[in-house]
Amino acid sequence: MSTTRALVILLVSLSFTCVIPVVFTGYNEVCSSEAGSEQSTEFRNKVDTSKLSGIEYLIADMYNNDRVLYAVVVTLVMATLGTGMAFLTDLVLKALGLEVSRISHKE
């Protein structure tokens, strides 16, 4: 790819990106004094489970009562989903003809 083409893509994407925060949060929110860390939620050590149900309740309850179990679940779930998604994406890429094999390491 020529450098010019790469620069054009870079510029177009950069200009497009400026629109994204405005679309999702609104210009006033992005540029107001509320933006950033000040807008963020307070850090809470306990989750209010009274309005939750199903899986949300289970996870929040675990978070409140057994933090080590919560950490184990988070780590295992992330590893499992990471592996599963990688496997699925690999299949899709293979179907698109983007299969990889051992490559030569020439610069």
CB contact set of 62 (below 8 Å; sequence gap of 6+): 69, 70, 73
Which residues have C-beta within 8 Å of that of residue 52, sequence separation ≥ 6? 60
Please report where in the chains the tokens 């690999």 appear, as a residue.
90
Q: Is 67 in the site for other proteins (CB under 8 A)?
A: yes
Q: Which residue from 2, 4, 95, 102 is in contact with other proteins, where contact means CB under 8 A?
A: 102
Q: Does 75 bind other proteins (CB under 8 A)?
A: yes
Closest CA to 58 of 26, 66, 39: 66
Residues that bind other proteins (CB under 8 A): 1, 6, 9-10, 13-14, 16-18, 20-21, 23-25, 30-33, 35-37, 39-45, 47-49, 52, 56, 59-60, 63, 67-68, 70-75, 77-79, 81-83, 85-86, 89-90, 93, 97-98, 100-103, 105-107
